[in-house]
Amino acid sequence: MSLREIRELAHGASREQVPHQHAQGQLFTVKSGVVVIEAGGGRWLMPTGCIGWVPPYESHGASIHGAMTGMSLYFDEAWSRAAMPAALKVVRLSPLLAALLDTLVQAGPPAGPVREHYLAVFADDFTRQPAQTLFLPMPQEPRLLRMATALLANPDDNTGLDGWAARIGMARRTLTRHFQADTGWSLAQWRQQLRMLAAMERLVAGESVTAVALGLGYTSVSSFIALFRRYTGTTPRAYLAMGKD
C-alpha cells in the first residue's frame, strides 16, 4: 500500500516543529498561511499554492507564522524511493496536480488499482515539474535569524542596514558579510524576495493588486507589476488565473 496516511493541517497560531525524520516520504501543501521549512541545512519560505516533497529519512522541521491550513500525505519508503525525487522538492501546484491530489485524498489510503494508477500519474507529473525557485533562504546566525524573522512578520518594514545593525547589536559591515555568507544573497536582494513571496501570499488570499502593492511599500502599482513579472514571468492576475484553471 503506497499511501499510508492523510493528515489535514490547521493551526490557529504560530508554532515550531523541531527537525525530525521518518521512514515514510511526505507530501505537503500549504493552502493558506506562511510556513518556513528547515531542511538540508537551510530554511525557505514556502508560499501558498505550492506542494512540497520530503523523501524518506530527510531531516526537516517547520516554523508556522500565524494561522495556517494545509495537508500532509505519507507514503511508504519503497514507493517513495522508486517513484518520487530523491531530494526535497517544491513545485507550483498546477491544475493537474491539484486535481490528482483531490482524487487521491477522496479515495483515501486503502489500496486499489485505480488509486495506484492516479499515484503513478501524480508522481510522473510532479517529477517533471520545474522546482519552485521563489524560496527564501534563512540565515543561521542567531541575531541575523532574529532580524529575518522580524522581517517575515513585517515585510513592509523599511528599516535600513544601519537601523538593523543597531537593533541587533552588530556592525554594519559584519551584518552585510555574515548575511551574504549565510544566505548567498545581499540583504537588499533577500528583502525583495521576501516581498515577492508576501505578495504571492496576499494575492492568493484575495487582496487586490493595488492593495498588495501599496501595502508592501512599492512606490506604484506599475512598478510592483513589473517586478512581479520579472520574478515569475507573468503578471499578478495571470499568476492567479493559473491556479484557477
What are the distances in angstroms from CA 55 to CA 25, 130, 154, 198, 201?
5, 17, 32, 27, 26
Give the pTM.
0.64
> How many domains would you assign to the chain?
2
Q: Each residue of 194-204: b (16+ CB within 10 Å) or e?
A: bbbbbbbbbbb
Among 128, 154, 180, residue at a domain's last position: 128
Residue 163 inside a domain? The answer is yes
pLDDT score of 64: 77
- Host domain of residue 201: 142-242
Instruction: Provide the 10 A C-beta neighbour count for residue 178.
Output: 17
Percentage of the chain modeled with pLDDT above 70: 91
Same domain, 75 and 109: yes
Same domain, 29 and 121: yes
pLDDT score of 79: 94
If pLDDT is split at 50, 70 and 90, which confidence band does 197 have?
A: confident
Residue 134 inside a domain? The answer is no
Of 129-143, 176-190, 202-216, which range is least confident?
129-143
Are 240 and 49 contacting, i.e. CB atoms less than 8 angstroms apart?
A: no
Same domain, 182 and 117: no
pLDDT digits (tens, 9 = 90+) for 96-149: 999 999 988 887 766 678 888 889 999 999 999 988 766 788 888 999 999 998
Provide the greatest CA pair distance for the chain: 62
Residue 135 inside a domain? The answer is no
The CATH number covering residue 203 comes to 1.10.10.60
Are 68 and 10 contacting, i.e. CB atoms less than 8 angstroms apart?
A: yes
The residue whose grid cell reads 513545485 is 91
- Interatomic CA distance for residues 136 and 147, integer angstroms: 14
**Helices 142-153 and 187-204: angle between axes, nearest 10 degrees:** 30
pLDDT score of 245: 47
Same domain, 91 and 146: no
Among 83, 105, 128, residue at a domain's last position: 128
> Does 244 score more than 70 pLDDT?
no
Same domain, 30 and 103: yes
> Does 63 score more than 90 pLDDT?
no
The CATH number covering residue 27 comes to 2.60.120.280
Residue 137 inside a domain? The answer is no
What is the number of residues in the chain?
A: 245
Q: What are phi and psi of 131, to 5 degrees?
A: -65, 135
pLDDT digits (tens, 9 = 90+) for 31-60: 877 777 878 666 666 767 788 899 999 999
Same domain, 78 and 148: no
Q: Each residue of 98-109: b (16+ CB within 10 Å) or e?
A: bebbeebeebee
- Interatomic CA distance for residues 98 and 222, integer angstroms: 31
Residue 177 inside a domain? The answer is yes
**Reduced to 3 states, what is the DSSP secondary structure of residue 150?**
helix
